[in-house]
Amino acid sequence: MTDPFLSHQLLVLAAAAALLFAAATDVALRIVPNRATIVVALAGAGLNWLDGTLIAALFAAALVFSGLWYFWRTGRLGGGDVKLLTACSLLVPPFAVPELILTTAIFGGMLALAYLALGPLVPNLAQPRSRNLLVRVWRAESRRIRRRLSLPYACAIAAGALFTISSPIGLPY
């Protein structure tokens, strides 16, 4: 027999790694990889299955997707963000989904304020191309910040999910 506590911890660790990967990829490319979303969703389904709340979690995820679909259709949220936040709603217990949505919105607001504050401070980096990946990502991101383009909202989703699963309410295991 396997230890349920160890199973929970491994699933949370896999989901956390996938969330960090999704956030980093969103910063670099403004893409949320499907494989990261799938890992988060499967880890969340596994956690809820171990806790006996899988049906309620699937229902909560369907409600979250239904609500987010509107924001995607009106162009206020990217499709990858909708998928990732829906997967994250499987990651937390069903009763913690409102906390997940609230903390994600708070982190999203903080991200938006940071981008607005950084806009005038970020220099124009018109230097020769670099082979260093971090330098190239920083240049692209500084251009997006100055032009007030889209936010890497997967960062806010990852922060909200990690905060929720680490809070006393979000992680009853």
pLDDT of the chain along its 173 residues, tens only? 467 778 889 999 999 999 999 999 999 888 999 999 999 999 999 999 999 999 999 999 999 999 999 999 998 889 999 999 999 999 999 999 999 999 999 999 999 898 888 877 777 655 667 777 777 777 777 777 777 778 899 999 999 999 999 876 555 44
Report residue 78 as tokens. Answer: 């990217």
SS (H, E, C) 130-152: CCCHHHHHHHHHHHHHHHCCCCC
Residue 117: the pLDDT is 86
Report the C-alpha gap between 138 and 28 in whole angstroms.
8
Residue 140: the pLDDT is 77
Q: Which of 154, 169, 161 is nearest to 27 (CA)?
A: 154
Q: Where are the domains of the chain?
A: 4-166
Whole-prediction pTM: 0.87
Residue 121: the pLDDT is 76
CA distances from 87 to 61, 82, 161 (A): 7, 9, 10
Residues 6+ apart with CB under 8 A from 172: 51, 93
Residues 6+ apart with CB under 8 A from 105: 156, 160
Q: At what angle do helices 54-73 and 79-91 cross, to 10 degrees?
A: 160
